[in-house]
């Protein structure tokens, strides 16, 4: 074998070895790359749903503050009916069975903490039926949305029914006459959505809440 032939042979062996290293590097990097891509996609969808839920609670709180303790003329619809109807519309892209719980509660002035911190614990973890010690109404989303769909106004009245917890009657909310008597209204929602890939767990739970002051009614 001449010198040039030996040199060519050694070069060919090096190239062959480089190909093997490239395959190994690709095998090591590919899982990390795929996890990164799936993570961006998975949590992008989660963040989108969180924003949808946050917007829905904020819009519901706003309509509740405007509605106050009054019934819609001629229909008997109270603030809770109006709020749940709007939430159903805003949450149309999220299946109702992903929504774990909706709570409408009497709040206090917002502080530096999260509005979620003001939601009474037993309103978050308690059952749907019967009264609750704190001032809140606890709704099972599917039943509430179905009542809205069927125009079942009575479902949203605190009439002593044990089908849901009702400790904050919509028609007793205070919007005056004195400024210091005006209620703060809070809306809370918990959503559990199944993860798409399962790489980062089976489901993702998110909580969101919004607090607003009722629009003043008759003032002194």
d(CA 175, CA 217): 5
- What is this structure's pTM? 0.81
Residue 187 lies in a domain: yes
Helix residue ranges per DSSP H, 68-197: 79-90, 121-125, 141-149
- Say what the pLDDT of residue 219 is: 46
Question: What are the tens digits of pLDDT across the range 22-72?
Answer: 777 777 787 777 778 878 888 888 899 999 999 999 999 999 999 999 998
pLDDT of residue 186: 96
- Contacts of residues 118-125 at CB distance under 8 Å and 24 or more positions apart, as own/partner, are 118/186, 118/209, 118/211, 119/186, 119/188, 119/209, 123/165, 123/188, 124/188, 124/190
Contacts of 4 (CB under 8 A, 6+ apart): none
Quick one: tokens of 131?
């009264």
Length of the chain: 220
Strands (E), 65-218: 99-107, 136-139, 165-166, 184-194, 203-213
Distance CA 145, CA 97 (A): 11
Check whether 1 has a pLDDT greater than 80: no
pLDDT tens-digit series, residues 160-194? 555 677 889 999 999 988 888 899 999 999 999 99
Q: How many domains does the chain have?
A: 1
Per-residue pLDDT of 69-105, as tens digits, reads 999 888 889 999 999 999 999 999 999 999 999 999 9
11 belongs to a structural domain: no
List, as one string, the DSSP characters of 50-84: HHHHHHHHHHHHHHHHHHTTPPPTTT---HHHHHH
**Structural domain span for residue 74:** 30-213
Residue 190 lies in a domain: yes
* pLDDT for residue 111: 80
Domain-embedded: residue 134: yes
pLDDT at 148 > cutoff 70: yes
Per-residue pLDDT of 109-136, as tens digits, reads: 988 789 999 998 888 887 665 556 568 9
Within-domain flag for 20: no
In a domain, 10, yes or no: no
User: In the predicted model, is pLDDT for residue 8 greater than 60?
Assistant: no
Give the pLDDT of residue 17: 54
Please check the confidence at residue 151 and state whether its pLDDT lies above 70: yes
What is d(CA 107, CA 129) in angstroms, rounded to the nearest whole number? 21
């Amino acid at each position: 074998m001449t010198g040039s032939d030996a040199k060519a042979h050694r070069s060919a062996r090096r190239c062959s070895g480089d190909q093997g290293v490239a395959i190994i590097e690709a095998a090591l990097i590919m899982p990390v790359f795929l996890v990164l891509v799936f993570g961006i996609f998975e949590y992008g969808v989660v963040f989108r749903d969180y924003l949808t839920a946050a917007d829905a609670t904020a819009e519901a709180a706003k309509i509740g503050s405007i509605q106050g303790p009054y019934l819609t003329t001629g229909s008997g619809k109270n603030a809770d009916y109006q709020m749940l109807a709007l939430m159903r519309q805003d949450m149309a892209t999220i299946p109702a069975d992903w929504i774990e719980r909706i709570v409408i509660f009497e709040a206090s002035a917002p502080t530096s903490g999260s509005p979620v911190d003001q939601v009474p614990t037993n309103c978050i973890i308690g059952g749907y039926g019967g009264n609750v010690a704190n001032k809140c109404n606890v709704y099972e989303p599917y039943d509430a949305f179905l009542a809205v769909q069927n125009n079942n106004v009575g479902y949203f009245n605190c009439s002593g029914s044990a089908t849901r917890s009702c400790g904050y009657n919509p028609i007793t909310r205070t919007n005056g006459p004195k400024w210091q008597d005006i209620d703060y209204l809070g809306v809370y929602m918990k959503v559990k959505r199944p993860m798409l890939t399962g790489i980062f767990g089976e489901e993702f739970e998110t909580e969101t809440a919004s607090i607003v002051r009722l629009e003043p009614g008759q003032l002194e």
